Structure 1
Amino acid sequence: MKISVRKCTAALCLMALCAALTACGPDGKAKETEESRTGQTEENSEIWIDGKPGNGEENSGTLNGTGNSNLQDGTGNSEVQESGAGGAQEQDGGIQARLIKDQTFQVSLIPLGDVTFASYGPDPAKNPMGDVVFRLEKDGRAVDTLEGVYGDNVRANETFNQVEAVSFPDYNSDGYSDIIIICSYSPASGPEAGTGYSEARIYRGSADGSFVLEKDLSDVANSAVADKTVKSILGFLGVGRGDAVSAGPEWKQAYIDYIMELDGEQWQGYNLIYIDNDDIPELVMIGNSEAVGCSIAGYAQGQVRESRLDRLGFSYIERENLLCNSDGNMDSYYDIVYRLEDGRLVQAAAGYYGAGDNSKVQYDENQNPVYQYQWNGVVMTKEEYDKALNAVYDTSRARGGYTWGQWLSREEAVQAISAAGV
C-alpha cells in the first residue's frame, strides 16, 4: 500500500514538472501570450486614433478593479467590486463584454508609466442613454476611471455612437500627460433624432497621476470649434502640432485659465486691446452692471494681474500706454488716466468735476449745468480742465474699450486669445 502511494505521488510530480516546462521558453522564462502582445505601441509614442480600426489592443487583459470600490458601468448603475483571490472581481463581469477593442490600447503616460487605456461602451439594456466609460488599467487592475460628462454618466437626451479619437498630449506644458477624447452622439428624440454630432473632452493630468475633467474648458472648445478633431482642439487651445507638443506663449494659457475661472454670470462680455506697445494684448472684462464695472487684466512676470475700473466707461490710446476711465453719475464725474506697469494699471493723473450739491445745480444760458472742475487737485475752469486733460491724454486719438453689445462671449474670447499675438 505504501509503495502504491509513493508511485502515485511521483507520477503527479512528474506531470506538474512537464506542464511547467511546456509554459517556459528556452531561457526558462514564461512565454508571452498573444493577447498581451496585441496592439502594443512604441514607448512614449502618442496615440492618435481618428476612428480608424486596427490601432487598438485586441484584449486589455484581466478587467478587475482595486479594493472594494464601486465603478460606474456607463448606465448610471454601479457594478459592485468584491475582494477575492487575485484581486477584486466585478460581480457580473458585464463591463468586459462592452470593451471597445479598437479604442483600447497600451500607452506610456507621465507620471503613471505604461498603462492600458480601456474604452467601454454603455449597456443600452440598462439605460439607452448611458455614456461611454474610460479606464486606465495597470497590471490587470483599474487605477483610474475618468470622470464622465454627467455625474451619473447618463446623457440627457443623447445616445452614444462611438469614440472617434483619443490623444495624450501635454497641452498645458506642465510636464504631465493630458487626455483629449472625441466622442460622437445622436439626439434620442426631437427633430434632430438620428443625426450625429461630435463632442470633445479635455482631461488635465497631474503630479499624482490622476486626471481632472476640464468641464468649462471642454464646453468652450465644443462651442468654438465646429469640426472637432484632436488637431482642431489642440489648435483651439493654442498648442503646437506634431510630435513635440508645445503650449506656445505662456500668456495665452494663463489668460485662458484665468478667463475660465471667472464667474460667467458677473461678466457680460470680453475684449482684447493693446494698451502698451508689446505683442501681448490686455484682456477686458465687461461687467453686467455699472456697479460691477470693467476690469483690465494684463500679463507680466508669469502672472495675470487684474485692475478694476469704476463703472463701465473707459477709452484708451492704442499702444501708447494710456487708458482713461471716464464715467460718473448724479452730477459727479471723473477722468482718471492710467499707465500700464507690470500688468497693472497705475494712476498717472486724475480730474473730477460736478456739482457740490446736486440738488441745487445751476445752468448757463445754453442750459448746460455749471460744474466745478479740478485737475490733480487744482481748481480750474472747464476750458483749463479740458486743456489739462488733453495735455496728458489726447482725447481726439482715443478709442473706446469696447463696442456696446458687440463684445466677445467667453468662448469667442478664448478663441481670440488663442489666435492673438505671437
Structure 2
Amino acid sequence: MFDDMYKKSNNIFMKFARRPASEACPHRLHLPFAALYFICPLLLAGVLTACGQEAGSNGGIPTKNIETENPTNSSGSGQAIDTPGTDSGQDKPISPQEDIPSGNSSLENISSENDPSESNMTDDLKNKFGENCLTDQTFEVELSEFDGKVYFVPFAPSQGNPDFHIQLMRDGEVLAELPQYIPEHLSGEAFSSLDAVSFYDINYDGNTDILLIETYGDTTFAAIYYGYGGNSEDYGKSFFPRETLSENITHAVQPLTVSEIRSFLSAGKKNGDFSNYQEAYRAISQLCIMEDENAPELKFNLIYFDDDEIPELVTGVNGYYMSLYTFQGGTVYCLMDDWGYGAMGNAGYEYSPKKNSLRNYNADYAGALMYTTYMAIGSQHSLEITASIETFNFDDVNGNGIPDEEEYDSMGNYSVSYLNGVQITDEEWDTYEAGEYVFIETVMSLEELVAELE
C-alpha cells in the first residue's frame, strides 16, 4: 500500500505525493434584452454569425459560457477562471474587464456574439496557436511556477492529435504540457467539452494549481492538477493530476462547478481570508481526507511547535509520512508536505515544544554514517535548516566518505562529527539542542480533530 513513497533530499527522506481553496465570486454581464430589438438585418447577421461559431470555431467541439474571477492565492499570483455553461449555448456573458485575466482585455464589454472584437480575438488566438485551439478557454495568466505571463492553451482532438490536450506556452515555446487525466470508466468516451478552468493554490503549498471541469460523452468530472515550482528536485516546473482527489470531488460535489468545489473544500474561503486557525485547519483536514488514497488510516494532531498560542496542524499516517501546517494572519503555510519516514534509516521527526526546533536523525550503512538535521520556521514561513551534522561512526582511513570492508572493524570504536565539513566537539553540538524533544505523531481521527477545533 505504501510502496515507492520515499525520496531522499538534504538527508531527509520525503514522500512526494503532494497535498485549500479560494472563494469564488463570479460576476456576469448578461446579453441585454434590448438587443432583441435591433433592426432585422443586424439581428439576422448576428444569428448567422453565432451559428457559424458554434459549429466550427473550435473544430466542432462546443464550448460553454465564460465567467472570470481573479482571486490572489497565498503566493500572490494566479487567476481563477470559472466557466460554467448553460444548456442553451446562446448567451455568452462576459465579466467586466477588470475581472478578466491580463492579456484578454479585448474581451471588454462584449455584448453579442457578432461583436467584431470577439471575432478578432478568436482569429488572433487561432493564428497564434492553430485551428484546434479552444479559444473560449484560452487565457494568458500568471502562474507561480513560471516567471511572467504564460498562455494556457487547450486543444480539441484533431486528425493530427486525436486526444484533447493542454499546453502552457510562451512565445511559441511549450513550457509544460498537462498529463492527460480521464477517469477509468470514461476511457472509451469521446471528449465533448472543457467546461471550466480555475487557477489557484488548492493545497496551500504556495504553488498555483489547476482545476478543470471536463465532459467526456455525457459525463462531467473534475480534474485537479497540483503545480510544482522550480525548487522541486524531482518534478521541475510541471503539473500532475491528483486522481484520488479528482474522483472524490466529482462524486461529492453537485452541481459540479468551480464555486461549489471551493465551497465544499473551504467554505468558499481562499488562503489569506481565514478568520482563525480553527477555520483554516478544518479546510485542510477536509482536503487531506479527500486527496489521500490512505484516508481510512489518516490521522491528525495539534502541536505547539513555536512559541505563539496558535497550534500547528499535523496530518499523516504514522510510520509512513506526515505533513505540518502553521497559521498566521489568516493564512495557512505548509511546512512539511508528505515527508516520509520509517524506512531507509529515518526514524521520524522530533520537535521541542514551543522552541521552534525540529530534529531528524538519518542513518546510512547500518548506522556507520549518521545525519542529524535541525530545522526551524524562518521568516518566509517555511522550515529552514539551521544545522546539518554528519557523524562518522567508523575510521574513514581513505577519506571516501563510506565504510569499506577494511574499515568495518573500527565501527563502534570511533566517532567524529562534522558541521559544514568542519569537525565539531560535543559541546559545540549541544548549542543546537533546544531542550527536550518528542516525536511528532498523529493521534486524532477527523471527527476528534473537528471536535477539538470547535
Scaled to the shorter chain, the TM-score interval is 0.3 to 0.5
**TM-score, normalization by structure 1:** 0.41
Q: Which has the larger radius of gyration?
A: 1
Structure number with the bigger relative contact order (C-alpha 8 A, sep ≥ 6) is: 2
**TM-score, normalization by structure 2:** 0.38
